[in-house]
Chains A and B, each alone.
Chain A
């Protein structure tokens, strides 16, 4: 438990990381370092996208599964790591 907390803390304090969100299986954010509206927006949209991505991967080969998803945009990079029960979203600015 403490290890996970430490890991999350390290991620949050890593260079360039803007925010982290932990989302549960239903798309409800549990933990966040951003403000509420942004969190809700990110969580909702990325949850859908992750489900779609996972569905795509598994449709092609059911034995396969999605490990992580990166979306690089002009301003920053959004990284999503889905799991069976939780999903971790990190927004980082890599060029910083």
Chain B
């Protein structure tokens, strides 16, 4: 844009005016002195002459009256170039001196008129430039007109735009399109073709999830977390066991994949028991709650209420040869099945029943030989020791799945040569190995120890025949070994035990002495089927035999204290766990006899047949340690459970005002009282005498000395 020059009416002209005004002022001063106006001198000065001449003097009314001398006084008026409107004392803040400082020179310039013009001096730069511009088109005009046609033919695209503009301006005879010489320049770039690109992915799989947040769900999650942490700790500790873990992991993976029913096992068991409970609901109720009310009217007698009957299909032809309650699980008991018949020897079975399920056993183990005895370990309820007819002993572990015993004695390892009639667990020995004892017809009492994976045997004692024995024909040396048929260990005195033999004798032995008996009792005419220490009284034991008798002994006295004749071969006898004076016996005529010596010293307080068919012989009897029931096994393979009526479980009546002392001391005292009653007449009469029941059957008193 060309720059326009501004012209200013400068104050220089004013200074001219000033100099002109001076002489005028001198003139007017004179004139004014006549008039003496005190108005602004400049205003009056210019038009004062004409005014004065034209008119006569008129005095305004408020004119100052001055004296002639004052009128003649001359006042000098000076015209200066100062701008009266300019400020006179401008003060500026000086940062250097930190104060206000007056500015000495003040701009006196006053602009009166301002006009922008458009005239250029011909020698100025701008004029020259314009000339040049105009000159070029002027000079070129002649040249261009010649080459006009050519240029018109070759207009390019946007690149030739400038030239075309120039040529156009040339055509128009150097006419400027605008005073600023504005030309537009536009260009267009290539527009890239637009392409749309899109892609679609599969939406993430969705599933709706709903759950409840209960207190127990939170608890479960916490438990899982804890277990995981524990596992991690264990893994961190046991690094070399990684392989085992992997193996186990694989196993678990396989199991969870298949939809098999092994997990239903536990639930199925529960259901089975429930179903059985429903079916035998009345029995279950009786077991728990029924107490025979008619016992009050019966004085001393009691009854046995039949409860469940246990039978196993596959054991039909076998007879019950052993019974044992489990000490830890009070509803579980073991049944050993075999045969007492010498001719009918075959297989056997070890079966476990629970009172909760009477139709099917909990565990069952078939054996090749008939079982004759068994015992469950008092501390380890999963260990069962079994004695067989063929002389072997075995130990079963219920925790393991396999049907074979964990340990089994063989002919190399000192098995008996004759049937094993009784086994009993002992307390763990010094090396914490479990061990048990067995007695057999071959006359040996053997102790077996479970060492790692085998049974180690130790002969404890060899039973030798005592007493005169008829010599065999032709001087054959008599057999020197007695046949042991039963034994029992003292409850408190560990080393003391009794052995009953086939000859009818009972030997009191000690574990320490291997050849000598401590005592021998001439007990019975026939083989001693069972010998049992009293649960409470340390001196009393009971024995029974097929000679129809049951005898009670005090081990310090060589003759029995009580003798009972039961009119049939007695299969088994057992003390009750709740009273020292109560015991029960089973006979071959299918009857159970319960005695309470505290109530009746001569007769049974209960004699009851418990099996339907009269030909079945009862073989074994056991009291439950907790519940008032007994189980009875017979030779047809059935086990019957019976509940004892209250009269059979009577406790001594409490005297008024006295608290009933409970505990074994009471029982011992009871027994002691009984015994003392018997001992008194002994002392008084000076000879031994024993009470006996002589109502029926042959006398069995021949062996008294």
- Asked if B215 is an interface residue, CB under 8 A from chain A, the answer is yes
B259 is contacted by which of A4, A7, A17, A30 (Cβ under 8 Å)?
A30
Interface-facing stretch out of B159-167, B270-278, B477-485: B270-278
Contact, CB under 8 Å: B278 / A94: yes
A90→B209 CA distance, assembly (Å):
31
Judge whether A58 and B216 touch: CB under 8 Å: yes
User: Is A81 an interface residue when CB atoms closer than 8 A count as contact?
Assistant: yes
Hey, what's the 0/1 contact readout for A1-15 against B, CB within 8 Å counting as 1?
Answer: 101110110110011
Complex: how many Å from CA A66 to CA B268?
A: 15
| 8 Å CB interface, B240-294 against A | 259-272, 274-276, 278-279, 281
* Interface residue range, chain A: 35 or more
Q: Does B608 reach chain A (CB closer than 8 Å)?
A: no
B-chain residues with CB within 8 Å of residue A59 when the two chains form the complex: 214-216
Instruction: Give residues 32-52 of B contacting A (CB, 8 Å).
Output: none
Residue on B with the closest CB to A93?
B278
CB distance from A23 to the nearest CB of B (A): 10
In the bound complex, do residue B275 and residue A90 qualify as a contact, i.e. CB atoms below 8 Å apart?
Answer: yes
| CB closest chain-A residue, reference B256 | A85
Give a binary string over A40-54; 1 marks a CB under 8 Å from any B CB, 0 the rest.
Answer: 000000000000000
In chain A, what residue has the closest Cβ to B212?
A55
CB distance from B577 to the nearest CB of A (A): 30
Rounded to whole angstroms, the CA-CA distance of A86 and B72 in the bound complex is 143
Please tell me which one of the listed residues A11, A20, A63, A94 contacts residue B281 in the complex, with CB atoms under 8 A apart: A94
Residue of B nearest to A79 (CB): B274
Q: Is the CB of B214 within 8 A of A7?
A: no
B interface residues, how many (CB within 8 angstroms): 29
Task: Note all chain B residues with C-beta closer than 8 A to A1.
Answer: 260-262
A82 to B422, CA, bound (A): 44
The complex places the Cα of A5 from the Cα of B276 at a distance, in Å, of: 17
Q: Decide: A5 and B359 in contact? CB cutoff 8 A.
A: no
Which residue of B214, B262, B271, B281 contacts A79 across the interface (Cβ within 8 Å)?
A: B271
Q: A62-B215, A81-B267, A88-B267 are in contact. Are A14 and B260 (CB under 8 A)?
A: no
State the Cβ distance, A81 to closest chain B Cβ, in Å. Answer: 4
Chain B residue, CB-CB nearest to A12: B275
| A53 CB, nearest partner CB in chain B, Å | 13
Q: Which of A8, A77, A82, A84 contacts B278 (CB 8 A)?
A: A77
> Closest residue to A96 on the B side, CB-wise?
B279
Contact at B214–A5, with CB atoms within 8 Å?
no
Contacts of A16 in B (CB 8 A): 275, 278-279
Answer yes or no: A73 CB below 8 A from chain B CBs. Answer: no
Return chain B residues, CB-CB under 8 Å to A86. 261, 263-264, 267
Given contacts A1-B260, A1-B262, contact A7 B272 (CB under 8 A): yes
Output the least CB separation between B371 and chain A (Å).
Answer: 22
Cβ A7 vs Cβ B278 within 8 A: no
A77 to chain B, nearest CB (A): 6
Q: Is the CB of A83 within 8 A of B264?
A: yes
Q: Residues of B at under 8 Å CB distance from A?
A: 212, 214-216, 218-220, 259-272, 274-276, 278-279, 281, 359-360
| 23 examples of A-B residue contacts, CB within 8 angstroms | A3-B265, A4-B268, A8-B264, A10-B272, A10-B360, A11-B268, A11-B271, A11-B275, A14-B359, A15-B279, A20-B271, A22-B261, A62-B219, A77-B278, A79-B274, A83-B264, A84-B263, A87-B267, A88-B264, A88-B268, A90-B274, A92-B279, A94-B279
Q: Contacts A62-B215, A83-B264 given; 18 further ones with Cβ under 8 A?
A: A1-B260, A3-B265, A4-B262, A4-B264, A5-B261, A7-B360, A10-B359, A14-B272, A58-B219, A59-B215, A63-B219, A68-B274, A79-B274, A81-B270, A81-B271, A83-B263, A88-B270, A90-B274
